[in-house]
Chains A and B, each alone.
Chain A
Amino acid sequence: MSDAETRIVVVGASLAGLRGAESLRRSGFTGHLTIVGAEPHRPYDRPPLSKGVLTGEVGADATALPNLVDLDADWRFGTPATRLDRARRTVTVETGEALPYDRLLIATGASARTWPDAAQGRFAGVHTLRGRDDADALRRDLAAGPKHVLVIGGGFIGCDVAASCRTLDLPVTLVETGPTLLAGVLGAHLGAVVEALHAHRGVTIRSGTKVVALEDDGTGRVVRARLADGTAIPADVVVVALGAVRNTGWLSGSGLSFDAGGLDCDADGDALDEDGRPDPRIVAAGDVARFPHPLYPGKPIALEHWGHAVAQGVRAGRRLAGLPEAPYAEVPAFWSSQGGITIKSVGLTAGADGLVIARGDPKEGRFLAVYGREGRCIAAVAFDCARWLPAYAERIAARAPFPPEPGGVDAGPMRVLPPAFPEPADEDAA
């Protein structure tokens, strides 16, 4: 079959799906390209959804991503994929139409984990935040001037939402089961630094406790939350920010290996079947792909980072276009803005057994921490000092010894501290 007759379907009109499709065309693919999206929107950027969109500074519809290449694609919006038939090589969408493929890119991403009690989760005023429409709905409720906002979960989304509430001058309480905010990803040592920033901006923080129930006013509108110690806190808007589950349910019956933690892939990014054999026609990228990372041997990982969706999407496009590709080995990286401080990270902190403040000083609000495991550098986190970070990314890629050698300009004493991750390690910390 000539390339011009080849049919490629991208499932997921997402950042990974869009950059993957662009990469296909840039790699010379001239065949039929179909892009299937569950939502009625063109691919959009998620980072503003928990920040500028909530404060009204950025319109939800202004988050559409730039499309960098003429894709000449058949876009199918608002039609979630419902079934994958690998024998017939078709993807069925919600309308019942079966789209034939020769090669497939799976980039269906993840969904917000919902409140465990479904009836309580449906109370008016209770939100999750993942997509554009979620952000718009939450923005409207915040703009109405609620008396008490409650955020459940002190990960990045929960912290962003609480910060946006303070920008809007709304009273907000953040409840986190761990010892500090962001303890799952940074450990409690640096989590305490972040927590102080939010407390300073007026967020009421309840760490080390748990919301056990949401209660309504009798008409289905949330009015308060019950905590594990029996006390209640008032809440007319509740944001459930308990992490994400991967969008893999539509793969039921496909014979591929998946669960709520991702679709399993090999080091090349090819999807694995239930017997662990790669399907050479199917590649996955972005949040949904769980793959072995050469820098982090052991458990395969599924990363929710923006840069990862771009890099793995681009690589997937090249592979589907038939170009030779080395196994994916990008050093993971993310950024976040917390209480006016820009936090940037390279590597993965999970499993770290030591931490050093390698440059600067947390008391000054500007510092760089290096995380180590078994004598090797595995991650570095910069607070308002992004320009120091690339040098540490190189050390992580090179598996350089930990702790780093002392004596550099602005370098601290390299005293090894416990990172203080909560037990058990947070599965979603990556």
Chain B
Amino acid sequence: MSDRPDPSAPRLAAPSPDAPSPDARRSAGGLRVSVDLNLCQAYAQCCYAAPDHFVLRGREALHYDPAPSASVRGDIERARIACPVQAIRVEDAGAARR
């Protein structure tokens, strides 16, 4: 019944003080991710596609990395496409939208 992270489960990368800020990553082509958790039904396909960036804790509580680096674009795209209810939205900030 605890939602404390299971130490054996994959951890989302915690922000490190040395890591570039998301705005810096944005200019370097970082990603922004949001999941519509109303739609999400915990099929966990994203967790298989990108295990370092999507984690289920408990039966249905999805935790995800909202600002992955551009180097994992392929994993994030696989997760987005794999979602059976299409709940994942990804912005490729390298597109420099304004």
Verify B38–A62 contact, CB threshold 8 A.
no
CA distance A59 to B59 in the complex (A): 25
- Select one of A47, A57, A342 contacting B58, CB under 8 A: A342
Main secondary structure on A side of the interface with B: mixed
Verify A72–B98 contact, CB threshold 8 A.
yes
Q: Tell me which of B2, B22, B34, B42 has the highest count of chain A C-beta atoms within 10 A of its own C-beta.
A: B34
B57, chain A: closest CB distance, angstroms? 7
Contact A58:B37 (CB < 8 A) given known A69-B97, A75-B98, A339-B1: no
B11, chain A: closest CB distance, angstroms? 8
Residues from chain B with Cβ under 8 Å of A65 in the complex: 32, 34
Verify B67–A64 contact, CB threshold 8 A.
yes
Query: How many CB-defined contacts (below 8 Å) exist between A and B?
Result: 112
Interface size on B, residues (CB 8 A): 36
The answer, yes or no, to whether A6 is at the interface (CB within 8 Å) is: no
Contact A386:B98 (CB < 8 A) given known A48-B66, A201-B2, A340-B57: no
A49, chain B: closest CB distance, angstroms? 11
Verify B66–A365 contact, CB threshold 8 A.
no
A344, chain B: closest CB distance, angstroms? 7
In the complex, identify which listed stretch (A80-88, A181-189, A329-337, A401-409) lies at the interface while the others stay far away.
A329-337
B15, chain A: closest CB distance, angstroms? 4
Q: Give the contact-size bracket for chain A.
A: 35 or more
Verify A63–B66 contact, CB threshold 8 A.
yes
The answer, yes or no, to whether B61 is at the interface (CB within 8 Å) is: yes
Verify B91–A68 contact, CB threshold 8 A.
yes
Verify B1–A340 contact, CB threshold 8 A.
yes
| Chain B residue with Cβ nearest A167 | B4
CA distance A166 to B38 in the complex (A): 25
CA distance A204 to B15 in the complex (A): 30
Residues from chain A with Cβ under 8 Å of B63 in the complex: 52, 57
Residues from chain B with Cβ under 8 Å of A366 in the complex: 59
The answer, yes or no, to whether B33 is at the interface (CB within 8 Å) is: yes
Verify A61–B22 contact, CB threshold 8 A.
yes
Verify B59–A342 contact, CB threshold 8 A.
yes
Residues from chain A with Cβ under 8 Å of B5 in the complex: 57, 167
Contacting B at CB under 8 A, from A75-109, are 75
Residues from chain A with Cβ under 8 Å of B60 in the complex: 342, 384-386
| Chain A residue with Cβ nearest B16 | A59
Contacting B at CB under 8 A, from A341-383, are 341-342, 344, 365-366
Residues from chain A with Cβ under 8 Å of B33 in the complex: 66
B41, chain A: closest CB distance, angstroms? 5
The answer, yes or no, to whether B36 is at the interface (CB within 8 Å) is: yes
Contact A386:B32 (CB < 8 A) given known A52-B63, A61-B22: no
Residues from chain A with Cβ under 8 Å of B1 in the complex: 197, 200-201, 339-341, 365
The answer, yes or no, to whether A67 is at the interface (CB within 8 Å) is: yes
Q: List 6 A-B contacts (CB under 8 A).
A: A64-B23, A64-B66, A68-B91, A340-B2, A341-B1, A366-B59
